[in-house]
Amino acid sequence: MSNGYFVGWRTFQIDYFYFFKISRHNTLIYISIDCLIAIRDLVKRYDNLTAVDRLNLDIHENEVFGLLGSNGAGKTTTIHMLATLLKPTSGTATVNGFDIVTQSAKVRGSVGIVFQAPSSDDMLTGYENLKLHSWLYSVPRQVREKRIAEVLDLVGLTERKSDQVKKYSGGMRRRLEIARGLIHKPKVIFLDEPTLGLDPSSRESMWKYIERLVKEEKITIILTTHYMEEADMLCDRIGIIDRGKIIALDTPSKLKGMMGGDIVKLKLVEKKRPNTDMLKNFSFVHKIENISDDGLLVLSVDNASRNLPIILKYIDAESVEYTIPTLNDVFLRSTGRNIKEEAEGGFMEKYARYEQK
Ligand SMILES: Nc1ncnc2c1ncn2[C@@H]1O[C@H](COP(=O)(O)OP(=O)(O)OP(=O)(O)O)[C@@H](O)[C@H]1O
Ligand SMILES: [Mg+2]
């Protein structure tokens, strides 16, 4: 108990140590070393619809966490509750150690949010939008100009800062909104569908800005998306959310690993039944199947690009093809549906277009 601190095990199911401190007002507060957001049994109901269904999740400091799900899965509802814009029906969460229900003002001061729908004032310039937000978030006057310059530089808009936002492209508007969400140096930023409505090349350039943000601002990012590639590319961990529940949670590579490895299809020479005994000895081969009348041998293996030459030493094949599992395969296996079929056109998407007005 030296210096007023002691270390305790938490009482509910998280695996990290917590530091507890008796504050000046003799109240017990806790700061987690690693877990920046702890979500406990969070529920949001709209009449008969349960949009978020007893969600439990820990998000760690400095990670990029992706909530991946189809339209209506509950992504926006979840982050709006975490950012205190919506009240949970039941359950709670702590963000930066503050309770989203009982300490909402403190939560709001330590998070930034970029909405799914466009929300900057397009009659103002980029600079004016940022200045307005720096007032709203009480950024001290002495550092205001410096901070505006920093965030403009971070999102590559310094040269266009004096243009009205209505003259910006979709990608530029989105970047301005990210800059706006960062103006008060939050510890956490929520990016709701950061690339929705952008064309593929603007999407790719947005990913670069998000990567830069991670590096330079040392911030925790929670992003929602229904783009598999985006989640795969940007996120340290992904929670696949379906009907308000997290149904799979891990790093992108471990999620893809759930599929049991790469799928190799070997078309056998003259449909000859091969001797597969040798293959069974290799630890990288997980499954050998389907020696069908078509003369196809289908294998599940780790790292097909490296291990194929070894396999081909033992199997005579006319042709070979292999596929590496994608997050779409994981989504399909977890939900029984294909996310791509459902992308674009859901609950909020009609508001999220960035065409020039
Ligand atoms: N204000 C509301 N009133 C009633 N139902 C709502 C409201 N907001 C959201 N919903 C419903 O809650 C569910 C979750 O919606 P939410 O916007 O969180 O989904 P999402 O995963 O963000 O979807 P999208 O990919 O379309 O943005 C949907 O079925 C939606 O219709
Ligand atoms: Mg949404």
Q: Which residues pair with 288 in a beta bridge?
A: 299
pLDDT per position as a tens digit, 130-165: 999 999 999 999 999 999 999 999 999 999 999 999
pLDDT computed for residue 277 by the predictor: 86
Structural domain total, the chain? 3
Tell me how far the alpha carbon of residue 193 lies from the centroid of ligand 2, in angstroms: 7
Are 227 and 293 contained in the same domain? Answer: no
Residue 95 scores a pLDDT above 60: yes
Are 249 and 137 contained in the same domain? Answer: yes
Residue 334 scores a pLDDT above 50: yes
pLDDT per position as a tens digit, 34-85: 689 999 999 999 999 999 999 999 999 999 999 999 989 999 999 999 999 9
Mean pLDDT, residues 227-248: 94
| Residue 167 structural domain | 40-255
pLDDT per position as a tens digit, 284-303: 999 887 666 678 898 999 98
- For residue 312 and ligand 1, the question of a CB distance below 6 A is answered with no
Are 193 and 292 contained in the same domain? Answer: no
pLDDT computed for residue 232 by the predictor: 93
Q: Which ligand is nearest to the CA of 241?
A: 1
Ligand 1 atom at minimal distance to the Cα of residue 78: 18
DSSP, res 72: T
Residue 351 scores a pLDDT above 70: no
- For residue 32 and ligand 1, the question of a CB distance below 6 A is answered with no
Q: What are the start-end ranges of the H helices in the chain?
A: 75-82, 104-110, 126-136, 141-154, 170-182, 200-217, 228-234, 252-257, 277-280, 304-314, 327-335, 339-342
Q: How far apart are CA 63 and CA 131, in angstroms?
A: 28
Are 292 and 310 contained in the same domain? Answer: yes
Q: Which ligand is nearest to the CA of 74?
A: 1
pLDDT per position as a tens digit, 99-134: 999 999 999 999 999 998 888 899 999 999 999 999
Q: How far apart are CA 350 and CA 287, in angstroms?
A: 44
